[in-house]
Amino acid sequence: MPSQKMPKTKYKFNHETLRFDEVKTGLKQTFLRLFGYFVASLFLAGIYGFIFMFIFDSPQEKALKREIAQLTLQYELMNREMENVEKVLVHLQETDDNLYRTIFESEPVPSSYREGGIGGVNRYKEMEGFSNSELVIETAIKLDRIRKKIYVQSESFDELIAYAREKEEMLSSIPAIQPISNKDLKRTASGFGYRIHPIYKISKFHSGMDFTAPTGTEIYSTGNGVIKEVRSARREYGNHIIVNHGFGYETLYAHLDGFNVRAGQKVKRGDVIGFVGSTGLSTAPHLHYEVHVNGKAVDPALYYFNDLTPDEYERMLEISSKSGQTFD
């Protein structure tokens, strides 16, 4: 038969009897001993838990730390991208102020307005108190600054578009072509300035240009505008038309044989408005043409830049500057 293990018996030396006495354990002592073991175990478990908590991360904490690291990286990348966006905006602002507004003769946008602060006592208070608050607040400030710059630049471009449309209208309205077909410049007869009057035979100021052409030759409006006046007369200008081009420009077409427009009618550059004749104070079929700027007659030859090459333009100026007799 297998031998059975006997429970261990504890002995304690008795100094009085000089013998070993058997130690008998009572229920109370056993309970206290077990309770002591239990308390010690709890204490050790607490120490181990404390060490594990502050030295070793739980799976959830590891996942959160990875997420925070990824968000921090994204914020840093976003900051770099915003810095690039700000550089592009600065380039747009410089181009706006130094090129576009120079072309349209407009004042640059004040830098104080472009760099104006964002409203609010502390817009970023809710972002404070976190481990990465500095990075988050810095990003928010940059984003607000970019938003402001984009808003200002958008306003500026809207203004420039309005300028461009007005400029386009003005460029279309300036009397920039010759009033009759004169590609070889042979029809240029007399220019602006003092000339010999064909009837009075005295030097008299000639406030326009004369173009020789057969009766009935088509006459063109030299710019967009509205017909201000269509008048039939026997003296001075004879039958004539005045076109109001806006922006301070008006043109006069005199000694006409007939009209192709009526007062109040809108015309565009190149539209046929009348026909060459010799009515009024005239000695032969021709067109007397004047350009007025803000009510003052100016040399029409200065405005033929839309249908002449640079060489032709120089020849036109040379021909128109020669003194001689006019046709009216």
Q: What token pair was written down for 250?
A: 């008006």
Q: What is the pLDDT of residue 4?
A: 55
Task: With beta carbons less than 8 A apart as the criterion, state whether 137 and 128 touch.
Answer: yes
Q: What token pair was written down for 70?
A: 């990824």
Q: What is the pLDDT of residue 116?
A: 62
Q: Spell out the residues 6+ positions from residue 153 whose beta carbon is closer than 8 angstroms to its own.
A: 89, 92, 93, 96
Q: How far apart are CA 275 and CA 259, in angstroms?
A: 6
Question: Looking at the predicted structure, is the pLDDT value of residue 178 above 80?
Answer: yes
Task: With beta carbons less than 8 A apart as the criterion, state whether 231 and 274 touch.
Answer: no
Question: Looking at the predicted structure, is the pLDDT value of residue 325 above 70?
Answer: no
Tell me which range, 24-28, 64-68, 206-210, 307-311, is most confidently predicted by mean pLDDT: 206-210
Q: How many CB atoms lie within 10 A of CB 150?
A: 13
Of the candidates 143, 142, 124, the residue with the CA atom closest to the CA atom of residue 133: 124
Of the candidates 238, 183, 234, 180, the residue with the CA atom closest to the CA atom of residue 212: 180
Reported as a pLDDT band with limits 50, 70 and 90, residue 70 is confident
- The DSSP output letter for 98 is I
More confident residue, 1 or 31: 31
Query: In whole angstroms, how far apart are CA 177 and each of 159, 193, 260?
Result: 30, 20, 19
- The DSSP output letter for 47 is H
Reported as a pLDDT band with limits 50, 70 and 90, residue 194 is low
Q: How many CB atoms lie within 10 A of CB 238?
A: 21
- The DSSP output letter for 50 is H
Read off the pLDDT of residues 76-128 as tens digits, 9 standing for 90 and up.
777 777 788 777 777 777 777 766 666 566 777 777 666 666 555 566 677 67
Q: How far apart are CA 136 and CA 79, in angstroms?
A: 10
Q: How far apart are CA 38 and CA 94, in angstroms?
A: 78
Average pLDDT, the chain: 78
Read off the pLDDT of residues 130-168 as tens digits, 9 standing for 90 and up.
667 777 777 777 787 777 778 777 787 777 777 777 777
Q: How far apart are CA 288 and CA 307, in angstroms?
A: 19
Q: Spell out the residues 6+ positions from residue 127 whose beta carbon is closer than 8 angstroms to its own.
A: 133, 136, 137, 140
Rounded to 5 degrees, φ, ψ at 19 are -135, 160
Reported as a pLDDT band with limits 50, 70 and 90, residue 182 is confident
Read off the pLDDT of residues 275-301 as tens digits, 9 standing for 90 and up.
999 998 888 899 999 999 999 998 888
Query: In whole angstroms, how far apart are CA 194 and each of 178, 206, 233, 289, 313?
Result: 21, 6, 25, 15, 21
Q: What is the pLDDT of residue 322?
A: 64
Q: What token pair was written down for 172?
A: 């279309």
Q: How far apart are CA 32 and CA 269, in angstroms?
A: 116
Read off the pLDDT of residues 216-272 as tens digits, 9 standing for 90 and up.
999 999 999 999 999 998 888 999 999 999 989 999 999 999 999 999 999 999 999
DSSP string, 114-175: HTPPPSSS-TTGGGTTSTTHHHHHHHHHHHHHHHHHHHHHHHHHHHHHHHHHHHHHHHHHS-
Element holding 35 (H helix, E strand): helix 27-55
